[in-house]
Each structure stands twice: as structure tokens, then as C-alpha cells.
Amino acid sequence: MSGGPWLMQILKSENIDYAYLDIFELLLQDGIKVVRRNKTMIELPHVFLQLTNPRARVVQNPARKLSLSFLIGEFLWILSGSNRADFINFYNRRMQMFSDDGLTLYGAYGKRLVNQWRPTIDKLRNDSSTRQAVMTILSTEDANVVTKDFPCNTTLFFSTDSNDALNLTVTVRSQDMLLGFPYDVFHWTLFLENMAKSCNLDVGSYMHLMMNCHYYATDEEKIRIY
């Protein structure tokens, strides 16, 4: 569903491969060419995606080959609550370029979420209809920090539907569709499944709200092949 580049774009897909196709089609059709940090990109603001089958989370299209070791390694890194660069560099050496001090990654999700997991489980166990099951990645301190690793994903909001199935809505300030999107969806849908299991709830839908989604112009040939 398209409402023009400055209105909310609402998409509903069964799995991540269909979602990828839908978003790429939208970007190719309505995307706006801009230059940011001396790089040309095609972008759209305000894209809302619903995945009705969050377990279909791994890209199968051979045009987008994922690193399975990095896919799993990054999820384990998040679960560990670590921000150590050497942990994640083992799975992807490119991550080192985002470290400000060579030792840690400022925006590491696990470090920011580790103390919120148990309280969120408790809230949902006590009241599955609660609207307070929110995990926050950004902190007030981030407003004053200049870093190479500013978090792209900002909040996780868990909620139940009319069938008492658990949904998850993740808010993303900036989404690189080619590089980051398939990894983010993999991690957060696993978070949803683990949270549902911890709270004895069924898995509902996964929602991905992107304030900005984009691809770099140098990657357009890859986008069109997909």
C-alpha cells in the first residue's frame, strides 16, 4: 500500500523474502534520491512492515546471501549483554570499524537491553494485556554523544492481540535495507519468540517501523536483481 513518499507506507507480508520484495519495489517506485555524508542513497520515510509469520525469518533468496555465522553470532552477542568488540569481530571483522576505542561498541544492543529482559517478562506474566512492556535501546545520554556506532534500532514494544498472542513492534530510526534489515528482523523475531515462550504466550506478528529506510545508489544493481 503506497500513499506517497511522505505518508506512512504500510506493508503486510507473510515472510521476510516477501517483505524484502515489497520494500524494494516500493523504494524503486517511490524512493527519493538524496546525498547524505557524501553518499548518494535512495530513501523513504515512515515505512511500517508487518510480518504475519515471524518464524519465517531467514532470507532464502539466493540473490541475498547471508553470513549464517554472523547471523547467529550477533544474536548470541546480543543475548550475552556484551559490548566487547572482539566478541562480534570474530564473526564479522567489519564491525571493528564502528568501534570508537577499538575495544567496545557504543551502540551494542545487548548491553543496553540485558537489564530490561526480566522486568519485561514479569510485566507480561502479571498482565498479558499491559501496554508497559517496552524495552528501550536509546538513552538520554545518547543525545550528547558523537560516535561511529549510534544505535539504529531504538525501542521494542511487546503487546498481545485479541487472541492473547504476543506481538512485537520495533522502531528503527534508520534502516539500511540491503545490509542491516535481514539481520535485524532475524534477531528481533527471535526475541519475540523467546519472550512469548518465557510468558507462556503464542507468537503473534512482528512489526518493523522504519523512520527512514534506504539503500545506497551503488547497490542498485543488487536491488534490481533481487
> Quick one: how far is CA 121 from the chain centroid?
20
Q: Per-residue pLDDT for 41 more than 50?
A: yes
pTM above 0.85, yes or no: yes
Q: Per-residue pLDDT for 27 more than 80?
A: yes
Share of the chain above pLDDT 90, in %: 91
Share of the chain above pLDDT 70, in %: 97
**The 3-state secondary structure of the chain, one letter per residue:** CCCCCCCCEEEEECCHHHHHHHHHHHHHHHCEEEEECCEEEEEEEEEEEEECCCCCCCCCCCCCCCCHHHHHHHHHHHHHCCCEHHHHHCCCHHHHHHCCCCCECCCCHHHHHCCCHHHHHHHHHHCCCCCCCEEECCCHHHHHCCCCCCCCEEEEEEEECCCCEEEEEEEECCEECCCCHHHHHHHHHHHHHHHHHHCCCEEEEEEEEEEEEEEEHHHHHHHHHC
Bridge-based pairing state of the strands 153-160 and 134-136: antiparallel
Please, which pLDDT band fits residue 4 given cuts at 50, 70 and 90?
Answer: low
Please, which pLDDT band fits residue 1 given cuts at 50, 70 and 90?
Answer: very low
Please, which pLDDT band fits residue 5 given cuts at 50, 70 and 90?
Answer: low
pLDDT tens profile 131-144: 999 999 999 999 99
User: What Cα–Cα distance (Å) separates residue 205 from each residue in 148, 169, 178, 181, 213?
Assistant: 32, 9, 22, 17, 20
